[in-house]
């Protein structure tokens, strides 16, 4: 770099630093500014020889993270200082945690140490099967130290996502998948909704770029129309709000790209058919005493002008979400008969929705400690961390169970209010009260009536749990429980029971093998596990203990311990297994069809199609190397894609279609609409007129003049299926056509 370039860069760094001080949500004292300046100087010194992938000076990254912490999340000077220093110890040999403590005090050092530990996790070996999930659990354990560690880490991830264009494509997909899998749900749970939305959109941008930019462009095209519509909507209610002399603002808020995409997938609709692509937000100023009264007053004014959908009322003012979110959400029929979601919030509620943790603290009364605002959330989280032996991937999946779920509110027999996720059962309620009550559950009463443990609770239910000393969890309970806490506790209890039985089973197996002149050692145990198609030695010992595997079966195993058996095992685990015709009938395609190539070298490998998403030629896909079942091919938008790409990036293989004309693939089409005479005949004509489409079966159900139909067809590629679906949509009376 020339002297002029260095001078320009230094000026840009100084400007970024001044902007950081200017945008802070908190009022910074003189002492705060001195501490932040000292942290800035240390960060500049530590990172002076570093540059990012984009080529810019590394110091811009910690400044940007600190700016997110200061402005978007609204944390204090201590957090801003820690954000500036978050990479100093990890990336520089000049400073240690002890140096940070001497310069900035114990609190800042503790936060920086937590952030350094999290960063070091990502540099561990990629060969750990559940690396990312295990790292996530370790990261959550830092909540014991200081919740600001997690919040600054989320800010760090947000800036990394914002500046990822210069990275390799495979790195982009891995980091974006990890973001969707871990960081966006965590931001949601903490109440950082704006950051959660941006993380989701950026995650989609790199995991499914075509989808992201298609929706983005359509939103841009419709923006002018939406602005006109929002102005028209606002004018109608502004007059009435002004008459009441309310201090308010009305603005439109487009739905996030990720949420539009989710609706398109969940409801099987196109972009144009997503009915609430934007929301209108009314934010009013009020003193605390009149806050609730004014919210319902505005609700009354809005519904005086526009008819509400009674099933879409969400009252999070009377019963706030567990994140502290408060608002009234209503959906009304706006001008031109379009559905419009209206969000009603006070200024305080709006700040809490946008800043979460920091705004909670700002509005706390009586000088309570800052951490009190999310203490209850942290205590719930700690409960889910109680079992350190749980499988890490299972732990993450259980933890995520409740993150996005809608809430219901039920009452204890004493009238206390309990928050549970929608779909919760009496078992979930029992474990939410206390683990011991859950473990001893034998039945439940809801609103005074005895109900099964499978009963789904509704808001307003009064729940009474019946217990017994001799009651204990059984495997069926896992089908009844939905919350992470309940399922985790049940699994732990069942596992303990299983261990006790397995210990007895191991001794029984030792005696029985001795009679067959076989030693119980690692080799024989592995052979037995493979022979009985089990996963672990614990499964083997448990089945021996419960007599699921008996003497006869063990004698058959002993007889099979021959060279032929060992040859079979070796052949089965080889790279190119022979596949019987019955397996081919299950849509498992091998290399002889020469359809897909894998990796940069475009290798031709054996593979199978994953049953979870059933790809067909033309679908964007990737390969996933399983432990026991070879190479599986998944669609890029498979429900399991994000989890696989986040947790097992080293097992992902890029895949490319090279020829799909020589083989046919089954697909199922679902369609619905108004039942007309001769409709089935019209549909079959359309299908038969599409070349190379072979219809295997067709079925229709009609109810009240509306039909639902399913058609099984065989096609040679994705384009042919898309063309067929487009032609079916053109038939008069058909409302919706989608591929299942």
Neighbours of 556 (CB within 10 A): 10
The answer to the question of residue 371 being in a domain is: no
The answer to whether the CB of 454 falls within 8 A of the CB of 476 is: no
Q: Which domain holds residue 463?
A: 377-491
Tell me, what CATH number does 685's domain have? 3.30.70.260
In the chain, % of residues over pLDDT 90: 20
The answer, yes or no, to whether residue 67 has pLDDT greater than 90, is yes
Q: What is the mean pLDDT of residues 605-621?
A: 84
Tell me, what CATH number does 80's domain have? 1.10.3210.10
State the total domains in the chain.
6
Q: Which residues have CB under 8 Å from 19's CB, separation 6+?
A: 67
Looking at the fold, whether 164 and 49 belong to one and the same domain comes out as yes
Looking at the fold, whether 678 and 698 belong to one and the same domain comes out as yes
| Average pLDDT over the chain, rounded to an integer | 80
Q: What is the mean pLDDT of residues 87-116?
A: 87
Could you give the CA distance from residue 573 to residue 583 in angstroms, rounded to a whole number?
16
pLDDT digits over 29-38, tens only? 899 999 999 9
The answer to whether the CB of 329 falls within 8 A of the CB of 341 is: yes
| Measured torsion, CA atoms of residues 641, 642, 647, 653, in degrees rounded to the nearest 10 | 40
pLDDT of residue 520: 85
Q: What is the mean pLDDT of residues 608-615?
A: 85
pLDDT digits over 36-59, tens only? 999 999 999 998 888 888 888 899
pLDDT digits over 631-665, tens only? 899 988 888 888 888 778 778 888 888 764 556 67
Residue 204's pLDDT band (boundaries 50, 70, 90)? very high
Residue 136's pLDDT band (boundaries 50, 70, 90)? low
The answer, yes or no, to whether residue 591 has pLDDT greater than 60, is no
Residue 587's pLDDT band (boundaries 50, 70, 90)? very low
Could you give the CA distance from residue 319 to residue 24 in angstroms, rounded to a whole number?
31
Residue bearing tokens 């800043």:
355
**Both tokens of residue 298?**
């505005």
pLDDT of residue 205: 94
pLDDT digits over 163-195, tens only? 998 888 888 888 898 888 888 888 887 778 889
Residue 569 or residue 240, greater confidence: 240
DSSP state of 251: E
pLDDT of residue 571: 53
DSSP state of 143: G
The answer to the question of residue 414 being in a domain is: yes
Chain centre distance of CA 450: 35
The answer to the question of residue 254 being in a domain is: yes
Q: What is the mean pLDDT of residues 312-316?
A: 86
The answer to whether the CB of 323 falls within 8 A of the CB of 377 is: yes
Looking at the fold, whether 439 and 554 belong to one and the same domain comes out as no
Phi, psi of 719 (to 5 degrees): -60, -40
Residue bearing tokens 């999340």:
73
The answer to whether the CB of 355 falls within 8 A of the CB of 347 is: no
The answer to the question of residue 370 being in a domain is: no
The answer to the question of residue 246 being in a domain is: yes
Please report the DSSP string for 71-97 in residue order: IIS---HHHHHHHHTTTHHHH-SS--H
pLDDT of residue 43: 92
In the chain, % of residues over pLDDT 70: 82
- Smallest CA-to-CA distance from 235 within 335, 371, 307, 312 is with 335
pLDDT of residue 126: 42
Looking at the fold, whether 272 and 331 belong to one and the same domain comes out as yes
Chain centre distance of CA 230: 31
Tell me, what CATH number does 472's domain have? 3.10.20.30
pLDDT digits over 662-702, tens only? 566 788 888 888 777 777 888 888 887 765 677 888 888 87
The answer, yes or no, to whether residue 81 has pLDDT greater than 90, is yes
The answer to whether the CB of 657 falls within 8 A of the CB of 604 is: no
**Both tokens of residue 465?**
């749990």
Could you give the CA distance from residue 702 to residue 322 in angstroms, rounded to a whole number?
43
pLDDT of residue 426: 93
The answer, yes or no, to whether residue 128 has pLDDT greater than 60, is no
Residue 284 CB-half CA count within 13 A:
26
pLDDT digits over 477-514, tens only? 888 888 878 888 888 888 888 888 888 888 888 888 88
What contacts 24+ positions apart, CB below 8 Å, involve 12-16? 12/60, 13/44, 13/57, 13/59, 13/60, 13/63, 16/60, 16/63, 16/64, 16/67
DSSP state of 168: -
The answer to the question of residue 335 being in a domain is: yes
The answer, yes or no, to whether residue 162 has pLDDT greater than 80, is yes
Compute CA distances 540 → 438, 506, 508, 616, whole Å.
29, 8, 11, 38
Categorise residue 448: left if φ over 0, alpha if ψ from -120 to 50, beta otherwise: left
pLDDT of residue 34: 93
pLDDT of residue 392: 53
Could you give the CA distance from residue 283 to residue 278 in angstroms, rounded to a whole number?
16
The answer, yes or no, to whether residue 566 has pLDDT greater than 60, is no
The answer, yes or no, to whether residue 89 has pLDDT greater than 80, is yes
Q: Report the relative pairing of strands 596-598 and 652-657 from DSSP bridges.
A: antiparallel
Instruction: Reduce the secondary structure of 172-231 to three states and give it as a string.
Output: HHHHHHHHHHHHHHHHHHHCCHHHHHHHHHHHHHHHCHHHHHHHHHHHHHHHHHHHHHHH
pLDDT of residue 329: 92
Could you give the CA distance from residue 209 to residue 165 in angstroms, rounded to a whole number?
12
The answer, yes or no, to whether residue 289 has pLDDT greater than 70, is yes
The answer to the question of residue 372 being in a domain is: no
**Both tokens of residue 472?**
């204990």
Could you give the CA distance from residue 591 to residue 704 in angstroms, rounded to a whole number?
49
pLDDT of residue 266: 81
Looking at the fold, whether 630 and 555 belong to one and the same domain comes out as no
Q: Which residues have CB under 8 Å from 679's CB, separation 6+?
A: 673, 707, 731, 733
The answer to the question of residue 369 being in a domain is: no
Q: What is the mean pLDDT of residues 64-84?
A: 90
pLDDT of residue 692: 62
The answer to whether the CB of 33 falls within 8 A of the CB of 21 is: yes
Could you give the CA distance from residue 135 to residue 549 in angstroms, rounded to a whole number?
38
Looking at the fold, whether 561 and 498 belong to one and the same domain comes out as yes
pLDDT of residue 583: 39
Looking at the fold, whether 164 and 24 belong to one and the same domain comes out as yes
Could you give the CA distance from residue 554 to residue 560 in angstroms, rounded to a whole number?
10
Q: Which residues have CB under 8 Å from 289's CB, separation 6+?
A: none
pLDDT digits over 699-725, tens only? 888 776 678 888 888 877 777 788 888
Last residue of a domain, one of 363, 392, 419: 363
The answer to whether the CB of 606 falls within 8 A of the CB of 591 is: yes
Looking at the fold, whether 45 and 194 belong to one and the same domain comes out as yes
Categorise residue 709: left if φ over 0, alpha if ψ from -120 to 50, beta otherwise: beta
The answer, yes or no, to whether residue 5 has pLDDT greater than 60, is yes
Last residue of a domain, one of 474, 491, 508: 491
Q: What is the mean pLDDT of residues 390-409?
A: 57
Question: Counting every residue, how long is the chain?
Answer: 740
Q: 78-87, 133-142, 494-503, 573-582 — which is least confidently predicted?
A: 573-582
**Bridge partners of 445?**
450, 464
Looking at the fold, whether 484 and 510 belong to one and the same domain comes out as no
Looking at the fold, whether 167 and 122 belong to one and the same domain comes out as yes
pLDDT of residue 41: 93
pLDDT of residue 372: 45
pLDDT digits over 534-556, tens only? 878 888 888 888 888 888 888 88
Last residue of a domain, one of 543, 572, 601: 572
Looking at the fold, whether 562 and 621 belong to one and the same domain comes out as no
pLDDT of residue 66: 94
Looking at the fold, whether 497 and 485 belong to one and the same domain comes out as no
> Where in the sequence numbering do the catalytic residues fall?
90-91
């Amino acid at each position: 770099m020339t002297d002029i370039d260095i001078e320009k860069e230094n000026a840009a760094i100084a400007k970024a630093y001044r902007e950081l001080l200017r945008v802070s949500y908190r009022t910074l004292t003189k002492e705060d500014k001195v501490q932040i300046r000292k942290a800035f100087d240390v960060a500049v010194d530590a990172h002076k020889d570093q540059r990012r992938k984009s080529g810019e000076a590394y110091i811009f990254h910690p400044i940007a993270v600190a700016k997110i912490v200061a402005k978007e999340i609204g944390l204090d000077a201590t957090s801003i200082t820690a954000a500036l220093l978050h990479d100093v110890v990890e990336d520089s040999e000049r400073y240690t945690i002890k140096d940070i403590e001497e310069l900035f005090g114990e609190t800042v050092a503790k936060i920086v140490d937590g952030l350094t530990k999290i960063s070091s996790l990502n540099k561990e070996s990629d060969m750990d099967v559940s690396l990312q999930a295990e790292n996530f659990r370790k990261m959550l354990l830092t909540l014991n130290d200081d919740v600001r560690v997690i919040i600054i880490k989320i800010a760090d991830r947000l800036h990394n996502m914002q500046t990822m264009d210069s990275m390799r494509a495979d790195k982009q997909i891995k980091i974006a998948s990890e973001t969707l899998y871990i960081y966006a749900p965590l931001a949601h749970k903490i109440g950082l909704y704006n950051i959660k939305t941006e993380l989701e959109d950026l995650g989609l941008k790199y995991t499914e770029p075509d989808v992201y930019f298609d929706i983005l462009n359509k939103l841009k095209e419709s923006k002018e129309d939406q602005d006109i519509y929002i102005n028209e909507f606002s004018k109608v209610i502004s007059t009435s709000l002004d008459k009441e002399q309310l201090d308010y603002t009305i603005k439109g808020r487009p739905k996030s790209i990720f949420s539009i995409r989710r609706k398109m997938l969940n409801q099987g609709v196109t972009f144009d058919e997503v009915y609430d692509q934007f929301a209108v937000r009314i934010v009013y100023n009020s003193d605390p005493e009149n806050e609730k009264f004014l919210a319902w007053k505005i609700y009354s004014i809005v519904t005086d002008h526009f008819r509400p959908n009674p099933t879409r009322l969400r009252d999070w003012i009377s019963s706030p979400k567990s994140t502290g979110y408060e608002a009234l959400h209503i959906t009304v029929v706006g001008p031109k008969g379009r559905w419009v979601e209206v969000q009603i919030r006070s200024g305080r509620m709006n700040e809490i929705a946008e800043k979460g943790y920091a705004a909670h603290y700002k509005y706390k009364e009586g000088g309570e400690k800052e951490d009190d605002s999310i203490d209850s959330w942290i205590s719930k989280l700690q409960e889910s961390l109680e079992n350190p032996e749980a499988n890490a991937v299972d732990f993450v999946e259980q933890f995520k169970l409740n993150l996005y779920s809608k809430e219901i509110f039920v009452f204890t027999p004493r009238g206390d209010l309990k928050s549970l996720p929608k779909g919760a059962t009496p078992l979930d309620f029992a474990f939410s009260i206390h683990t011991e009550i859950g473990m001893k559950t034998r039945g439940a009463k809801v609103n005074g009536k005895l109900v099964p443990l499978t009963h789904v609770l509704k808001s307003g239910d009064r729940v009474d749990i019946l217990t017994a000393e001799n009651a204990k969890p059984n495997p069926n309970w896992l089908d009844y429980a939905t919350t992470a806490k309940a399922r985790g506790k049940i699994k732990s209890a069942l596992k303990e029971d299983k261990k006790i039985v397995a210990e007895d089973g191991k001794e029984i197996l030792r005696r029985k093998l001795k009679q067959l002149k076989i030693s119980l050692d690692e080799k024989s145990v592995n052979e037995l596990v493979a022979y009985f198609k089990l996963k672990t030695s614990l499964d083997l010992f448990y089945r021996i203990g419960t007599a699921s595997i008996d003497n006869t079966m063990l004698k058959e195993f002993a007889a099979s311990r021959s060279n032929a058996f060992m040859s079979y095992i070796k052949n089965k685990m080889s790279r190119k297994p022979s596949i019987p015709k019955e397996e081919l009938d299950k849509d498992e395609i091998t290399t002889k069809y020469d359809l897909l190539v894998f990796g940069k070298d475009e290798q031709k490998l054996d593979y199978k199609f994953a049953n979870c998403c059933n790809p067909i030629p033309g679908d964007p896909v990737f390969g996933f190397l399983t432990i026991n079942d070879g190479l599986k091919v998944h669609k890029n938008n498979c429900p399991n894609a994000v989890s696989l790409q986040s947790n097992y990036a080293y097992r992902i293989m890029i895949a490319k279609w090279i020829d799909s004309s020589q083989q046919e693939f089954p697909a199922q089409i679902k369609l619905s609409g108004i039942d007309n005479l001769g409709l089935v005949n019209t549909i079959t004509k359309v299908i038969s007129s599409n070349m190379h489409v072979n219809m295997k079966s067709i079925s229709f159900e009609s109810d009240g003049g509306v039909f639902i139909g399913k058609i099984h067809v065989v096609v040679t590629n994705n384009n042919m299926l898309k063309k067929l679906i487009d032609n079916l949509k053109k038939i008069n009376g058909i409302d919706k056509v989608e591929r299942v």
